Structure 1
Amino acid sequence: MQVREVIETLGLKLMTHEVPVDVDVIGGYASDLLSNVMGQAAPGMIWVTMQGHQNIAAVASLIGLSAVIVAGDAPIEEDTLKKAEQNDVLILATSLPAYDVIGKLYELGIRNVK
């Protein structure tokens, strides 16, 4: 599955418009603890978080994640979006609670592959 399909199916809002959405998703991960994501997530995963600060863009870029979904209408800093676009990191947003987003990703067949 590609990020484009996830965006369309879940009705996510694309926050980084300069980053391609035709990227494969190999699995999913959810956490708000950055060190946990760095140690447990794998390249190609889609990450669900409530964090909106620029460190999410740095972590996603470092790992090579396919996208970051910021759930629950959590605010996303403008610096986060700038850093994400500079590093080709897809940032998506939704008003859905993280629990619901994770359930929907699971229904789409996106699992934690580690």
Structure 2
Amino acid sequence: MVSLSVSNKRYTYIHESGSKSTREAIDIHHVIINGSSGTGYARRWGLGFFLVFLASSMYFLLGKDNPARTLSWGCLLSGFLVMLHSRKFVKKESVIILPTFGIQLETQYLRYALSI
């Protein structure tokens, strides 16, 4: 049973309690991140393409003959791409408070299926 719900453009907060007999025993709080699931995906790939463009333009502008410069840009670019690819986007976070057992934290992530 939802007892309180507050929402704005970015987040939705829901306070949920169980039946009347367990209302004082179990306390559940949800924070849901609003927005389309494609927004984070498009932003991630847009930043990746920008980094590829930046690295290639710096490679051609600063000189092609220096292998140390090429290696450093390659390592920097691959590090950014790995960081962008491994980042998890949060969809929903929940806190469940049980007086006898303690606090349980749950996090749900968005899942992207990439087909190459």
TM norm structure 1: 0.20
Larger Rg: 2
Larger relative CO (CA 8 A, sep 6+): 1 or 2?
1
TM-score, normalised relative to structure 2 = 0.20
